[in-house]
A and B are shown apart, each in its own frame.
Chain A
């Protein structure tokens, strides 16, 4: 799965398959992290009172 794994081979198959997996995981992970961090900052700025966007 990772380049330091004993099964890893630097060929197109591994790079495409695992590259695709990491790409998708990165988007999900970064997106979620961004939302969580921003929500924490927004909550701190509002002094715990919350605000209503909807």
Chain B
């Protein structure tokens, strides 16, 4: 039964190994589900949130996975709209990673709502003045787009593809995929941007507040830009990781290098914009509100200047230089290091914009509010990782994700 579902011409590990991997990851998943149920039944008082911290660790994870999943919309845009046809060899995995990230984001939001029976309120009783309403709308619709993009991959399973209707449906979906990809890119622009905009409009939280272009604070554009830059880096990171774990070449180097080069230029332009934004905020916006830069970075080691240096230099400028320089980009070790740093960088940016925003004192009598997550928050943050690993395990085993795998790994008959 199992071997009949595996794509033709490729080799997979023994079934018992696959089941063992599923069981181990499933145990971690169940731990997260238990913590999620505790959050629903016992309430958010079991978290480390308090009057200062309205955002938990999982909200950082939510924004981080949304940014990392940005590889799906940007690679889709490059492949289907701009016409970079070489990326057809990586687009399936980008879509799968995006699907995992966005379904995880919706799951995390469901935990945060706290009352699952009222999840639909966000659509029916929508607050049309809220950027988070826009985020919820766009995120849900974009997840729908990702389902449509993932569907042909599922239908291309060896057994499903034998059914004529499924075969024809796959073909038809491929034919008009550009429409879905363009819709996805449009939706992503607004939900990624609005997530950034949430921090940027909080004038009561001067660490995050930014000047505006019309109604949009600078952070609106920086969030979309960083997702388009770092999302593809995460796709390359996971692809390389999968290749290391499976011990196979799954995608030809030239395909990886093309995406790495484009991501590198996106990262370069993003980091220049980020530096300009930081300088303007530090020397114009914050002083105008009565603050100095040292107000936001001193007094504790957790949020020292190191975090600014790590985000902009170590995880921004360094990977950008590696990715745009051909000689460096084509060295496998350096490429892997660069995409890893870029992925960490965008997570660090979301950490700063979600949690550090709430930490500095804003009133004369306030103190730095440091935050310590409780175990249910850690478990619910690890939950999507376990879910993602399970999805990758199943998809890699049974679906033709990598079109070049057969050619790169000929099976001796």
B168 and A14 contact, CB distance less than 8 A = no
What's the Cα separation between A6 and B6 when bound, in Å? 53
- Please give the distance in Å from B146's CB to the nearest CB on chain A: 11
- Please give the distance in Å from A15's CB to the nearest CB on chain B: 9
A43 and B123 contact, CB distance less than 8 A = no
A53 and B141 contact, CB distance less than 8 A = no
* Interface range on chain B (Cβ under 8 Å from partner): 20 to 34
- Per-position binary interface string of chain A over residues 1-21, scored 1 when its CB falls under 8 Å from any chain B CB and 0 otherwise: 100010100010110111011
Residue B187 interfacial (CB < 8 Å): yes
- Per-position binary interface string of chain B over residues 100-141, scored 1 when its CB falls under 8 Å from any chain A CB and 0 otherwise: 000000000000000000000001111011000110011001
Binding-face segment, B70-78, B172-180, B296-304: B172-180
Query: Which chain B residue lies CB-closest to A47?
Result: B164
B179 and A31 contact, CB distance less than 8 A = yes
A34 and B169 contact, CB distance less than 8 A = no
Residue B148 interfacial (CB < 8 Å): yes
A39 and B165 contact, CB distance less than 8 A = yes
Query: Which chain B residue lies CB-closest to A54?
Result: B171
Residue B183 interfacial (CB < 8 Å): yes
B168 and A43 contact, CB distance less than 8 A = yes
Contacting B129 at CB < 8 Å: which of A13, A18, A32, A53? A13
- Please give the distance in Å from B189's CB to the nearest CB on chain A: 12
A42 and B168 contact, CB distance less than 8 A = yes
A43 and B180 contact, CB distance less than 8 A = no
Q: Which residues of A contact B169 (CB under 8 A)?
A: 35-36, 39
Q: Which of B171-218 contact A (CB under 8 A)?
A: 171-173, 175-176, 179-180, 183, 186-187, 190
A38 and B172 contact, CB distance less than 8 A = yes
**Do most interface residues of chain A lie in helix, strand or loop, or is the interface mixed?**
helix
Q: Which of B268-305 contact A (CB under 8 A)?
A: none
What's the Cα separation between A27 and B181 when bound, in Å? 11
- Please give the distance in Å from B123's CB to the nearest CB on chain A: 6
Residue B144 interfacial (CB < 8 Å): yes
Residue B158 interfacial (CB < 8 Å): no
Query: Which chain A residue lies CB-closest to B187?
Result: A24
B164 and A43 contact, CB distance less than 8 A = yes
B137 and A17 contact, CB distance less than 8 A = yes
What's the Cα separation between A27 and B186 when bound, in Å? 12
B128 and A17 contact, CB distance less than 8 A = yes
Q: Which residues of A contact B134 (CB under 8 A)?
A: 17, 20
B137 and A20 contact, CB distance less than 8 A = yes
- Please give the distance in Å from B127's CB to the nearest CB on chain A: 9
A46 and B148 contact, CB distance less than 8 A = no
Q: Which residues of A contact B137 (CB under 8 A)?
A: 17, 20-21, 24
A27 and B171 contact, CB distance less than 8 A = no
Q: Which residues of B contact A27 (CB under 8 A)?
A: 179-180, 183
Q: Which residues of B contact A13 (CB under 8 A)?
A: 128-129
Q: Which residues of A contact B144 (CB under 8 A)?
A: 25, 28
- Please give the distance in Å from B161's CB to the nearest CB on chain A: 9
What's the Cα separation between A14 and B134 when bound, in Å? 11
A39 and B180 contact, CB distance less than 8 A = no
What's the Cα separation between A39 and B167 when bound, in Å? 8
What's the Cα separation between A18 and B133 when bound, in Å? 10
What's the Cα separation between A38 and B126 when bound, in Å? 36
Query: Which chain B residue lies CB-closest to A15?
Result: B128
What's the Cα separation between A5 and B123 when bound, in Å? 12
B176 and A5 contact, CB distance less than 8 A = no
Residue B145 interfacial (CB < 8 Å): yes
B165 and A25 contact, CB distance less than 8 A = no
Q: Which residues of B contact A52 (CB under 8 A)?
A: 167
27 A–B pairs (Cβ distance < 8 Å), ordered by A: A1-B126, A5-B124, A11-B128, A16-B128, A17-B128, A20-B137, A20-B190, A21-B123, A24-B137, A24-B187, A28-B148, A28-B183, A31-B176, A34-B176, A35-B176, A36-B169, A38-B168, A38-B172, A39-B165, A39-B166, A42-B164, A42-B168, A42-B172, A43-B165, A43-B168, A50-B168, A52-B167
A-B pairs, top 3 by smallest CB distance, nearest first, are A50-B164, A13-B128, A39-B168
Known A1-B125, A28-B141; 19 more pairs at CB < 8 Å: A1-B123, A13-B129, A16-B128, A20-B190, A21-B141, A24-B137, A24-B187, A27-B183, A28-B183, A31-B179, A32-B148, A34-B172, A34-B176, A36-B169, A38-B168, A39-B169, A42-B164, A51-B168, A53-B171
